[in-house]
């Protein structure tokens, strides 16, 4: 490596260190917060109404290959989930 390249590399490293040093010092000086009060998280799941699926018969060449299918489910509702976390 040439002397000029080494000098340019050293100058870039010193410049980068000078630019990043205040950011690191500011981050280190930030106060640490401790939360002592519990927090409650609540999740309300969506309601699902009735779902109906109807698939007609499969007919190929005038012959019924597969009969039709009718599937239906009842409405579904899950209870609300509440969790209390200590110190968040």
> What pLDDT does 20 receive?
54
Asked if residue 42 and residue 21 are part of one domain, the reply reads: no
| Between 49 and 2, residue with greater pLDDT | 49
For 73, the token pair is 């489910």
Whether pTM > 0.85 for this model: the answer is no
Q: How many folded domains does the chain comprise?
A: 2
Instruction: Say whether pLDDT at 12 is over 80.
Output: no
Long-range CB contacts (within 8 A, 24+) of 53-58: none
The predicted structure's pLDDT at residue 15: 58
Q: Which domain holds residue 38?
A: 34-88
Mean pLDDT of the chain: 77
Spatial contact of 81 and 45, defined as CB atoms under 8 Å apart: yes
Q: Are residues 62 and 84 in the same domain?
A: yes
CA nearest neighbour of 85 among 38, 34, 44: 38
Other CB atoms within 10 A of residue 20 CB: 10
**Per-residue pLDDT reduced to its tens digit, 14-42:** 655 555 555 555 555 655 666 568 889 99
Tokens of 43: 């999740």
Same structural domain, 46 and 72: yes
């Amino acid at each position: 490596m040439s002397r000029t390249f080494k000098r340019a590399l050293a100058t870039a490293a010193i410049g980068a260190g000078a630019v990043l040093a205040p950011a690191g010092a500011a981050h280190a000086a930030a106060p640490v917060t401790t939360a002592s009060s519990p927090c409650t998280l609540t999740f309300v799941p969506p309601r699902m109404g009735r779902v109906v699926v109807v698939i007609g018969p499969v007919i190929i060449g005038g012959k019924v290959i597969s009969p039709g299918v009718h599937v239906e489910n009842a409405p579904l509702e899950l209870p609300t989930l509440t969790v209390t976390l200590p110190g968040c």
